[in-house]
């Protein structure tokens, strides 16, 4: 069992960091109103406004922000401003022992997947795959359900996902229980062969992505297949694959054909259509928490991520 961080209380201070690319400053500013509505105070990371090419400051600056927020006892949780690219550049320098000794809420997705996977592996803590401040919260499209998902940080609650939220498609039936792991498929594929390769043994694997054509998704799933990552998993939770239509080739396999080839063929519970990822609404989930995927009845239950 992973360590569940303490729940948030009204009046708590959260740290805001940019572990990857520079966030949109206008959208970040707009997002702060939502934190006010939640009753939270906030403190910005020192490198939050830094720009170093496609990175929010140097690797050392971004890593320092991450470490400082975990080490500071006055910071109750950390929410990422945005993703982009760059979190994997300093993962081998992270003080995972610090995070294990000072477990706290850590929330983000997309490029942040590399940090989720490494923290789950080496800090043994539950982290949260959810919408980020500048990337999502600060936009007009930020939905009521996405807002509601933040309540799981204040009250330990089971999450229930059914077709009442979105249509779901079964690739393979059955029921599987296990720890929830995964996130952005591109980042999971980039971790193959490193110390931060996702561990799916007996777990439910979540995948999502954006802007990847079927042939690209095919290549990434094949990489996971050949690394034994798909065979090891107990089941598959297939999130949103926004803008996944073929562009380079007029004749293509469909995304469903690709997903069914790699996941449906394994005979393990596999369901597609979860609004998890680069989408609205964005159903936020705790990675490292125990979950049950009932592919027969198209239902997902996830145990609380905080204590």
Domains of the chain: 13-153 (3.40.50.10740), 159-302 (3.50.30.60)
pLDDT digits (tens, 9 = 90+) for 218-246: 999 999 999 999 999 999 999 999 999 99
Contact (Cβ atoms closer than 8 angstroms) between residue 249 and residue 147: no
pLDDT digits (tens, 9 = 90+) for 107-133: 999 999 999 999 999 999 999 999 999
The tokens describing 234, both together, are 């107990």
Q: Within a 10 A sphere around the Cβ of 289, how many other Cβ atoms?
A: 23
pTM score, two decimals?
0.97
How much of the chain, in percent, has pLDDT values that exceed 70?
Answer: 100
Active-site residue list: 110, 208, 278
Q: Within a 10 A sphere around the Cβ of 227, how many other Cβ atoms?
A: 18
For 209, phi then psi, to 5°, come to -165, 175
Q: How far apart are the first and last CA of the chain?
A: 13
């Amino acid at each position: 069992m992973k360590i569940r961080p303490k729940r948030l209380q009204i009046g708590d201070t959260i740290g805001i960091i940019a572990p990857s690319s520079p966030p949109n400053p206008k959208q970040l500013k707009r997002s702060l109103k939502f934190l006010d509505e939640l009753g939270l105070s906030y403190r910005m990371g020192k490198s939050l406004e830094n720009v170093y090419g496609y990175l929010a400051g140097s690797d050392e600056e971004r890593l320092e922000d991450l470490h400082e927020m975990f080490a500071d006892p006055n910071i109750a949780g950390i929410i990422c401003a945005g993703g982009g690219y760059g979190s994997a550049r300093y993962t081998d320098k992270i003080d995972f022992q610090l995070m294990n000794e000072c477990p706290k809420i850590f929330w983000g997705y997309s490029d942040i997947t590399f940090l989720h996977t490494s923290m789950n592996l080496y800090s043994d803590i539950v982290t949260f795959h959810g919408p980020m401040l500048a990337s999502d919260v600060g936009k007009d499209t930020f939905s009521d359900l996405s807002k509601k998902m933040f309540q799981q940080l204040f009250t330990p609650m089971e999450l229930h996902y059914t077709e009442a939220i979105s249509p779901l498609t079964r690739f393979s039936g059955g029921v599987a229980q296990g720890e929830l792991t995964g996130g952005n498929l591109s980042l999971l594929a980039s971790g193959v062969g490193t110390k931060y390769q996702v561990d799916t043994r007996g777990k439910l694997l979540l995948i999502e992505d954006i802007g990847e054509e079927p042939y690209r998704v095919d290549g990434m799933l094949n990489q996971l297949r050949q690394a034994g990552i798909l065979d090891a998993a107990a089941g598959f939770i297939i999130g949103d694959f926004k803008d996944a239509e073929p562009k380079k080739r007029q004749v293509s396999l469909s995304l469903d054909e690709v997903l069914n080839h790699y996941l449906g063929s394994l005979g393990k519970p596999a369901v597609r259509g979860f609004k998890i990822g680069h989408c609205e609404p964005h159903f936020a989930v705790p990675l490292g928490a125990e979950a049950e995927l009932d592919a027969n009845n198209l239902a997902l239950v996830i145990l609380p991520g905080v204590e």
